[in-house]
Amino acid sequence: MGRVIGIDLGTTNSCVAVVDDGQPVVIPNAGGYKTTPSVFAIASECEYLVGYRAKRQAITNAKDTVFAAKRLIGRRFDSVEVQRSRGLYPYAILEGPNADPRIRVADRIFTCSEISATILQEMKKVAEAYLGESVDAAVITVPAYFNDAQRQSTQDAGRIAGLDVLRIINEPAAAALAYGMGREEEEKIAIYDLGGGTFDMSILEMSAGVVEVLATAGNTFLGGEDFDRRIVDHLLDVFEKDTGIDLKGDPVAMQRLKDAAEKAKCTLSLREVAEINLPFLGSGAEGPCHLACEIRRDELESLVEDIVDGTLESVQRCVKDAGLNADEIDHVVVVGGQSRMPMVQQAVANYFGQRPHKGVNPDEVVALGAAIQGSALVEGTQDVLLLDVTPLSLGISTYGGHFSRLIERNTTVPVNKSHLFTTTRDDQAAVKIRVFQGENEQALENDMLGEFVLSGIPPAPKGEPEIEVGFDIDSSGIVSVSARDLATGRQQSITVNSKSSLSCEEVDLIIEENTRLELAFRG
């Protein structure tokens, strides 16, 4: 196997790294930037644009420019998060054949895995240009709180991009690998990861090259995008109050506001006041209308105070699950672009009673950790050992609709556990195994990962048959489930394939179609 790269597939920006001469390095793109916008678009003449090229034309081509697709990947169309997204983004989010979200760009319909694959392909090209050789293998990071469907969909994206995904690892664990490289002392660290679209909190213990995750918590729909949106809503109110014009139905104006909000947010991390000037933003009875205003840092902080407080709820739960107190944490590492906000830094410092560690680049550290893990997997070295956990409990639906946990959250992976169940009716010949992931006591309140039927059970009074149900979670967090009738030895098993992710056949068809389109475009 050739070189293996580490990819941080981000909501807002993505980053790729490789281990070179024993040291992990971030690979710059053709423009010299070490991060690439996670943006995809189709321009005129069906030209595909990715990264900065896509972002630069977003205002004039808002409806055919896709950003923040990571927030949709692996979710069901009818989920609260997807329905909320339909009102936030200018591009069209449609229901797919298996109730999974699809995105319409120009005249084509894409799955969320396909959109993410375009970003991964761009990262692959960046790495190949730097290394001067083809790259076929990668370790890809995901938020620690991603469920099985989201992990599978990310793995699908890697395969569509032409990559052999050696492992899916959690972003906080990747950050810990990069932070801990070369450190020998034993310590407990907290990783506070506030990115563009997701938030993760992990407590880890590090000792002599072993990185063990003790607990993790988070929110896969909370991040910098929400901070931007609060600013956009504020600017919409200011403009409507001044002009009487509601801009919510104007995709070009909304994209201009989003760009201005993102720039103002970054400015307010360095200064107390940011100026916003958007000429010709709308048109009224008296002609063109402009937006010219200032936003102060304290105004922004009041707009997003509840979002920051929401991250601290996850922090508190994670510390409790780790069986520690805040003052037992040796170091706190903040990663993710949104963690640069002074209010966020202060909130973390106040909770843990110490200033966050400043020795890592929050935009690059996750990709560096992925590259370290990839190098260790390929070279078979024992210098680094990562022991990660499953973020959510796994189990099945039992009589009365209850959720019976087989594997509790924060269990170290890989793991295999089994439990005996029985029938609920006399002479019951088959049982349906419904697999769920979550923390609610009622099964249907959790995420259903899949279902299958174990048949051929010999006639017997209810309660007598012994059916062993086993869960297996691999190091990437992918779930397999089996059920076996102990009396007959009859067994049924599946690798859980969520209805919101793609089948192997669908992935193969997408790869074939993309190859055909690429050849046609080149020709």
What secondary structure letter does DSSP report for 459?
Answer: P
Amino acid 15 reads C
Contact criterion met (CB below 8 Å) for 370 and 19: no
106: left (phi over 0), alpha (psi -120 to 50) or beta: left
**8 catalytic residue (yes or no):** yes
The verdict on whether omega for the bond into residue 414 sits within 30 degrees of 0, i.e. cis, is yes
DSSP string, 295-343: EEHHHHHHHHHHHHHHHHHHHHHHHHHTT--GGG-SEEEEESGGGGSHH
Residue type for position 341: M
Residue 485 catalytic?
Answer: no
Helix and strand numbers (H, E) in the chain are: 11, 28
Give the pair of three-digit tokens for residue 291.
Answer: 């937006």
Contact 502, 510 (CB under 8 A): yes
* Distance (Å) of CA 148 to CA 26, 227, 478, 516: 28, 27, 6, 31
In the chain, what are the helix, strand and coil shares in percent, each to the nearest 5?
35, 35, 30
Active-site residue (options: 34, 55, 70, 265): 70
Options 148, 171, 205, 225, the catalytic residue: 171
What is the gyration radius of the CA atoms in the chain, in angstroms? Answer: 24
Let me know how long the chain is.
Answer: 523
Residue-wise burial string across 264-291, b where 16 or more C-beta atoms lie within 10 A, e elsewhere: bbebbbeeeebebebeebbeeeeeebeb
Among residues 64, 193, 205, 472, the one annotated as catalytic is 193
Give one word for 311, left, alpha or beta, with left for phi > 0 and alpha for psi -120 to 50. alpha
171 classed as catalytic:
yes
Q: In DSSP terms, which residues pair with 39 in a beta bridge?
A: 67
End-to-end CA distance of the chain: 31
The residue to which tokens 């139905």 are assigned? 249
* Paired residues of 320 in beta bridges: none
* Angle, CA of 322, 328 and 334, to the nearest 5°: 80
Q: Which residues are tagged catalytic?
A: 8, 70, 171, 193
